[in-house]
Structure 1
Amino acid sequence: MLSSVLRTRMATSLVARRGFSTTRPQLSSPYHYKEGPRSNIPFNPLTKFFFLRYWGFMVTGFGAPFAIAAWQTYKTR
């Protein structure tokens, strides 16, 4: 009983002593990029025909496996 209380006190004191800190990103480095909304995606959703290209990609990507499976099922041998 005493050992568990002692262990708990030691654990909380160790956590309290640790210094958690972060540094600012150095934007002059070539490995850090700008931050903010829409800066971490590889496309621009603000273009004129983004909606059509997005749904075209989704229909092609998710529909192709089903279309291929149906074609393989119904083709003549």
Structure 2
Amino acid sequence: MKNKMLIGYRKMYGITQKDLARLIKVSPTTYSYKENGKTYFNQEEMIVITNILKKYNPMITMDDIFFRNNVNLKLTK
């Protein structure tokens, strides 16, 4: 599943996939696969990305970026 929150934050703050790929020490192709849900970010990578985005908005959490957009809630009676 595409990480729509990460994509949104990245674009909102003017950060490219290439920028984040360099900072988490992967190729741009590998980063694209991760952002698009073909492979997964490891914990270290999530921490680095969270810390980068916190520079723009200190209120952002790892949950906001990596987990909230993957939760599907279904209300039942």
Q: RCO higher in 1 or 2 (8 Å CA, sep ≥ 6)?
A: 2
Pick the structure with greater CA Rg.
1
TM-score, reference length from structure 2: 0.24
Which structure: greater helix fraction?
Answer: 2
